[in-house]
A and B are shown apart, each in its own frame.
Chain A
Amino acid sequence: MEFADLIRISRCDRVMLQRPHHPKLDGTLCITGHHLIASSRDNEPQELWLLHSNIDAVERRQQGMTGGILWLKCKDLRILQLDVIGADQFAKVADTIEDLIRVEEPVLQYPFFYRAMYTVLEDGWTAFTPESEFSRLIQPGDDWRISYVNKEYKVCPSYPSAVVVPKNIEDGDLIAISNFRQAGRFPVLAYRHEGLAVLMRSGQPMITANGKRCKEDERLLNSVLAREKRGYIIDTRTQNLAQSAKNLAQSAKLRGGGYEPEPHYPNWRRVHKPIDRHHVLLESLTKLMDGVNDTTSGTDKWLSRLESSSWMNNIKETLNCACLVAQCLDQEGASVLVHDTDGMDSTLQVTSLAQIILNPDCRTVRGFEALIEREWIQGGHPFATRHARSCYTPSTQRSKANSPTFLLFLDCVYQIHAQFSCSFEFAENFLVLLFEHSYSSQFGTFLGNNECEREAMNAPLRTASLWSFVNRPEVLPKYLNPMYEPNQRVIWPSVAPMSLQLWGSVFLRWVVDQGPQEAAWSVVRELKERDSSLRSRVARLRRQLQDLEREAVEVGIITPSTEEVTMTV
Chain B
Amino acid sequence: ICDTYPQELYVPSSAPTKVILSSSKFRSKGRFPVLSYLHKNEAALCRSSQPLSGFSARCEEDEQLLDCILQSNPNSMYMIVVDTRPKINAMANRAAGKGYENEAYYENIKFHFSGIENIHVMRASLTKLNETCQLVTPSMGGFISGVESSGWLKHVRSVLDTASFITNSIMDGISVLVHCSDGWDRTAQTCALAELLLDPYYRTTHGFQILIEKEWLSFGHKFTDRCGHIQGDAKEVSPIFTQFIDCVWQLQQILPSAFEFNERYLLILHDHVYSSQFGTFIGNCQKDRIDLRLAERTYSLWGFMKAHESEYKNPLYRRDSTADVLRLNLCPQSIRFWRGMYNRFENGVHPREPLGDLLAATTEHTQALTDQADFLTKRITWLKNEMERKGKNSSKCSSDNSYDNKIIDGEPQQNGDVKRNSLGVFGTQEVEASLVSVGALTVTDCIDSGHSLDKLSPNSNYGSYPHSKGYSRRSLGQILSYQSNCVVSDELTSVALDWKTFRNIRECSCSTPFDHFSRKYHCWRCGEVFCTRCIDKKASLPGHLSQQPVPVCRPCYKDVTRSVSVDTP
Knowing A508-B333, A511-B331, A544-B380, say if A527 contacts B363 (CB, 8 Å): yes
Contact in complex: B489, A548 (CB < 8 Å)? no
Number of A-B contacts (CB under 8 A): 229
CA distance A124 to B154 in the complex (A): 49
The verdict on B455 contacting chain A, using a C-beta distance below 8 Å, is no
The verdict on A519 contacting chain B, using a C-beta distance below 8 Å, is yes
Contact in complex: B362, A535 (CB < 8 Å)? no
Interface residues in B, total, Cβ within 8 A: 87
Q: Inside 8 A of A541's CB, which chain B residues have their CB?
A: 373, 376-377, 380
> In the complex, which residues 333-386 of chain B have their Cβ closer than 8 Å to any Cβ of chain A?
333-337, 339, 342-343, 346, 348-353, 355, 358-359, 362-363, 365-366, 369-370, 372-373, 376-377, 379-380, 383-384, 386
Contact in complex: B334, A310 (CB < 8 Å)? no
Contact in complex: B140, A310 (CB < 8 Å)? yes
Closest B-chain residue to A316, C-beta based? B140
> In the complex, which residues 312-357 of chain A have their Cβ closer than 8 Å to any Cβ of chain B?
312-313, 315-316
Tell which of A10-18, A50-58, A167-175, A413-421 binds the partner: A413-421
Instruction: Report the minimum CB–CB distance from A208 to chain B (whole Å).
Output: 36
Contact in complex: A531, B256 (CB < 8 Å)? no
Instruction: Report the minimum CB–CB distance from B404 to chain A (whole Å).
Output: 8
Q: Inside 8 A of B141's CB, which chain A residues have their CB?
A: 307, 310, 313
CA distance A55 to B404 in the complex (A): 84
Q: Inside 8 A of B353's CB, which chain A residues have their CB?
A: 419-423, 483
The verdict on A48 contacting chain B, using a C-beta distance below 8 Å, is no
Contact in complex: B349, A534 (CB < 8 Å)? no
The verdict on B194 contacting chain A, using a C-beta distance below 8 Å, is no
Tell which of B67-75, B289-297, B299-307, B480-488 binds the partner: B480-488
Chain A 501-545: CB-based contact to B (< 8 A → 1; otherwise 0): 110000010011100110110011001101100110111011011
Contact in complex: A512, B387 (CB < 8 Å)? no
Tell which of A132-140, A152-160, A187-195, A491-499 binds the partner: A491-499
Tell which of A399-407, A429-437, A554-562 binds the partner: A554-562
Dominant SS among interface residues on chain A: helix
Q: Inside 8 A of B373's CB, which chain A residues have their CB?
A: 534, 537-538, 541
> In the complex, which residues 268-310 of chain A have their Cβ closer than 8 Å to any Cβ of chain B?
292, 295-304, 306-307, 310
Dominant SS among interface residues on chain B: helix
Instruction: Report the minimum CB–CB distance from B277 to chain A (whole Å).
Output: 28
The verdict on B151 contacting chain A, using a C-beta distance below 8 Å, is yes
Which of A299, A313, A418, A555 is in CB contact (< 8 Å) with B332? A299
The verdict on A485 contacting chain B, using a C-beta distance below 8 Å, is yes
Contact in complex: B501, A485 (CB < 8 Å)? yes
Q: Inside 8 A of B355's CB, which chain A residues have their CB?
A: 421, 483, 524
Chain A 219-245: CB-based contact to B (< 8 A → 1; otherwise 0): 000000000000000000000000000
The verdict on B397 contacting chain A, using a C-beta distance below 8 Å, is yes
Which of B157, B258, B487 is in CB contact (< 8 Å) with A561? B487
Closest A-chain residue to B394, C-beta based? A555
The verdict on A81 contacting chain B, using a C-beta distance below 8 Å, is no
Instruction: Report the minimum CB–CB distance from B155 to chain A (whole Å).
Output: 9
The verdict on B272 contacting chain A, using a C-beta distance below 8 Å, is no
The verdict on B457 contacting chain A, using a C-beta distance below 8 Å, is no
Contact in complex: B478, A561 (CB < 8 Å)? yes
Contact in complex: A545, B488 (CB < 8 Å)? yes
The verdict on A549 contacting chain B, using a C-beta distance below 8 Å, is yes
Interface residues in A, total, Cβ within 8 A: 77
Tell which of B54-62, B85-93, B231-239, B313-321 binds the partner: B313-321
Closest A-chain residue to B142, C-beta based? A497
Closest A-chain residue to B492, C-beta based? A542
Contact in complex: B488, A549 (CB < 8 Å)? yes
Knowing A519-B257, A544-B380, say if A559 contacts B401 (CB, 8 Å): yes
> In the complex, which residues 223-267 of chain B have their Cβ closer than 8 Å to any Cβ of chain A?
254-258
Closest B-chain residue to A544, C-beta based? B380
Knowing A303-B145, A500-B140, A524-B359, say if A538 contacts B497 (CB, 8 Å): yes
Contact in complex: A542, B376 (CB < 8 Å)? yes
The verdict on B52 contacting chain A, using a C-beta distance below 8 Å, is no
Contact in complex: B157, A498 (CB < 8 Å)? no
Q: Inside 8 A of B565's CB, which chain A residues have their CB?
A: none
CA distance A556 to B351 in the complex (A): 56
CA distance A524 to B360 in the complex (A): 10
Contact in complex: A523, B316 (CB < 8 Å)? yes
The verdict on B6 contacting chain A, using a C-beta distance below 8 Å, is no
CA distance A563 to B365 in the complex (A): 31
Knowing A531-B366, A558-B485, say if A498 contacts B315 (CB, 8 Å): no
CA distance A560 to B255 in the complex (A): 55
Contact in complex: B329, A513 (CB < 8 Å)? yes
Contact in complex: B140, A497 (CB < 8 Å)? yes
The verdict on B119 contacting chain A, using a C-beta distance below 8 Å, is no
Which of B351, B362, B383, B501 is in CB contact (< 8 Å) with A527? B362
Q: Inside 8 A of B492's CB, which chain A residues have their CB?
A: 542, 545-546
Could you tell me which A residues sit within 8 Å of B by CB distance? Answer: 292, 295-304, 306-307, 310, 312-313, 315-316, 418-423, 483, 485, 487, 489, 491, 494, 496-502, 508, 511-513, 516-517, 519-520, 523-524, 527-528, 530-531, 534-535, 537-539, 541-542, 544-546, 548-549, 551-553, 555-564, 567
Pick 10 A–B contacts, CB within 8 A, sort by A: A299-B154, A420-B353, A421-B353, A483-B355, A542-B376, A545-B380, A556-B397, A557-B383, A559-B485, A564-B486
